[in-house]
Amino acid sequence: MPTFAHFFETLLESYPVFFEGLWLTIRVTFVSVLIAVFIGLFFALFKISQSKILNWIANVYIAVIRGTPLIVQIFIFYFGLTEFNIPKFWAASIGLALHNGAYIAEIFRGSIQSIDKGQMEAGRSLGMSHTLAMRRIILPQAFRRALPPLGNQFIIGLKDSSLAAFIALPELFSVATTQGARTFDEMTYLLIVAVYYLVLVLIFTLLVNLLEKRLSASD
Partner 1 sequence: MVEKAEMIRVEKLNKSFGDLHVLKDIDLEVNESDVVVLIGASGSGKSTLLRCMNFLEIKNSGNVIIEGETIDPQKNDLNKVRQRVGMVFQHFNLFPHKSVLENVIEAPLMVKKIKRSEAEKEGKELLAKVGLGDKANVYPNKLSGGQKQRVAIARALAMKPDIMLFDEPTSALDPELVGEVLSTMKELAKEGMTMVVVTHEMGFAREVGDWVVYMHDGKVVEKGHPSELFSEPKEQRTQDFLSSIL
User: Using CB under 8 A as the criterion, which residues of the chain lie in contact with partner 1 when the complex forms?
Assistant: 116, 118-119, 121-129, 132, 136-137, 140-141, 144, 217-219
17, 15, 28, 19: which is closest to 165 by C-alpha? 28
Nearer to partner 1, 3 or 131 (CB): 131
CB 28 within 8 A of CB 161: yes
Which amino acid makes up residue 207?
L
Q: Rg (Cα) of the chain, in Å, rounded?
A: 21
Nearer to partner 1, 17 or 120 (CB): 120
162, 157, 149: which is closest to 36 by C-alpha? 157
What's the min distance (Å) between Cβ of 129 and partner 1? 5
3-class DSSP assignment, residue 130: helix
Number of other residues whose CB lies within 10 A of the CB of residue 58: 22
CB 88 within 8 A of CB 167: yes
What's the min distance (Å) between Cβ of 185 and partner 1? 53
Nearer to partner 1, 66 or 130 (CB): 130
Nearer to partner 1, 119 or 205 (CB): 119
3-class DSSP assignment, residue 212: helix
What's the min distance (Å) between Cβ of 215 and partner 1? 9
What's the min distance (Å) between Cβ of 138 and partner 1? 10
First vs last C-alpha separation in the chain: 50
Nearer to partner 1, 123 or 157 (CB): 123
What's the min distance (Å) between Cβ of 128 and partner 1? 6
